[in-house]
Chain A
Amino acid sequence: MSFILPLFVFSLSIPLVVAVVAVGVGNRSWGNILVQLLMIFGGVTGFIASTLFLFGGGDSSIVSGLLSFPAPLDAWFAIDTLRAFFLLFVYAGMMLTSLYSLGYLPKYRGVYSLPALNAALALFVFGMGATIMSASIFSFLLFWKVMSVSAYFLVIADRSAESLSAGFSYFLMTHIGFVSLLAGFLLLSGGNVFASFLSIAASAAGLSSFVRATAFFLLFIGFGSKAGLVPLHQWLPYAHPQAPSNASALMSGVMLKVALFGFIQSLFLFSEIPLWWSCVVMAVGLVSAFFGVLHAAVESDVKRLLAWSSIENMGLLFSALGGIGIIGSLPLGLGAQPLIGALAFFVALHAVNHFLFKSGLFMAAGAVVSETHTRDLDQLGGLAQKWPLFSAAFLALSLAASALPPFGAFYGEWAYLQTLVAAIGSGITALAVPAGVALSLISLISGLAIFTFAKAFSSIFLGRARTNHAENVGHLHWALVTPVVLTAVASLATGLVAVPLGSLIAGATSTGDWSASLAPLPRASINPLVVLLIVMLTLTLAFVASRIFGAPRIRRTDTWDCGQPLTRRMEYTATGFAAPIRFFFKSIVLAEKRMTATPIIASNPWIASRSLEWKVSSFWERALYEPLGKLMLRVADVIKHLQSGVVQFYLLLVFATLVVVMSTAL
Chain B
Amino acid sequence: MTLIFSFAQAAFIVLLAPGMVGFVRTLKARFQNRRGAPILLPYWSLLSLFRKEMTITRNSSWIFHAVPFVVFASALTLAFLIPTLGYSGGHLGDIFLVGAIMALGSVFLVFGGMDTASAFGNMGSSREMTLSALVEPALYVSLGTLAIIAGAPNLESILERFSSASALDILPIAALSLFALFLVFLSENARYPVDNPATHLELTMVHEAMVLEYSGAYLALLEYASAIKLTVLFAFLMDLVVPFGIVHLPFTPLTLLVACVALLGKLVLAALLVAFVESTIVKMRFYRMQEFMSLGFIVAFAGLLLALIFGRPL
Contacts and interface: CB of A to CB of B under 8 A. Distances in A.
Q: Tell whether A and B belong to one assembly.
A: yes
Interface stretch (B17-25, B58-66, B159-167, B190-198): B58-66
A421 B144 contact: yes
Contacts of B216: 552-553
Given A443-B141, A545-B221, 15 more contacts: A440-B137, A441-B137, A443-B137, A447-B103, A450-B129, A457-B111, A463-B59, A541-B73, A546-B217, A546-B221, A547-B217, A555-B53, A558-B57, A559-B117, A577-B122
A549 interface: yes
A458 B56 contact: no
A571 B119 contact: yes
A553 B54 contact: yes
Interface string B114-144: 1111111011011101101111110111001
Contact of A418 (B91, B104, B153): B153
Interface stretch (B27-35, B94-102, B251-259): B94-102
A454 B73 contact: no
A535 B77 CA distance: 7
29 contacts: A297-B133, A405-B104, A410-B100, A414-B96, A417-B140, A418-B153, A424-B304, A443-B137, A443-B140, A444-B133, A448-B133, A450-B129, A451-B130, A464-B117, A524-B152, A524-B153, A541-B72, A542-B73, A542-B76, A545-B72, A549-B51, A552-B54, A553-B54, A556-B57, A560-B213, A571-B122, A572-B119, A578-B126, A584-B290
Nearest to A523: B152
Nearest to A569: B119
B42 interface: no
Contacts of B132: 447, 450
A553 B301 contact: no
Contact of B110 (A384, A440, A454, A547): A454
Contacts of B53: 552-555
Contacts of A434: none
A178 B197 CA distance: 57
Contacts of A493: none
Given A450-B103, A543-B69, A439 B140 contact: yes
B104 A458 contact: no
A402 B108 CA distance: 13
B265 to A, nearest CB: 28
A612 B69 CA distance: 40
B107 interface: yes
Interface string A531-542: 100110011011
Given A559-B117, A580-B287, A388 B152 contact: no
B204 to A, nearest CB: 14
Contact of A526 (B97, B152, B308): B97
Contacts of B63: 384, 391, 395, 461-462
A335 to B, nearest CB: 14
B286 A580 contact: yes
Contact of A542 (B60, B147, B221): B221
B89 interface: no
A592 interface: no
A559 to B, nearest CB: 4
A561 interface: yes
Contact of B148 (A395, A425, A451, A553): A425
Nearest to A459: B114
A568 interface: yes
A424 B148 contact: yes
B68 interface: yes
A548 B52 CA distance: 12
Contact-residue bracket for chain A? 35 or more
A463 B133 contact: no
A568 B118 CA distance: 9
A576 interface: yes
A403 interface: yes
A172 interface: no
A427 interface: yes
Interface string B77-101: 1001100000000011011110011
B77 A579 contact: no
Contacts of A579: 126
B100 A464 contact: no
Contacts of A459: 114
A297 to B, nearest CB: 8
A391 B64 CA distance: 13
Given A384-B63, A385-B61, A440-B297, A555 B56 contact: yes
Contacts of A649: none
Given A427-B312, A457-B111, A542-B69, A557 B56 contact: yes
Interface in A379-420: 381-382, 384-385, 388, 391-392, 395, 399, 402-405, 410, 413-414, 417-418, 420
A581 interface: yes
A37 B196 CA distance: 58
Contacts of B140: 417, 439-440, 443
A407 to B, nearest CB: 10
A476 to B, nearest CB: 16
A636 interface: no
A579 B287 CA distance: 10
Nearest to A421: B144
A233 interface: no
A546 B289 CA distance: 35
B44 to A, nearest CB: 14
B270 interface: no
A530 interface: yes
A464 B153 contact: no
A541 B213 CA distance: 23
* Most chain B Cβ neighbours within 10 Å, of A421, A530, A531, A535: A421
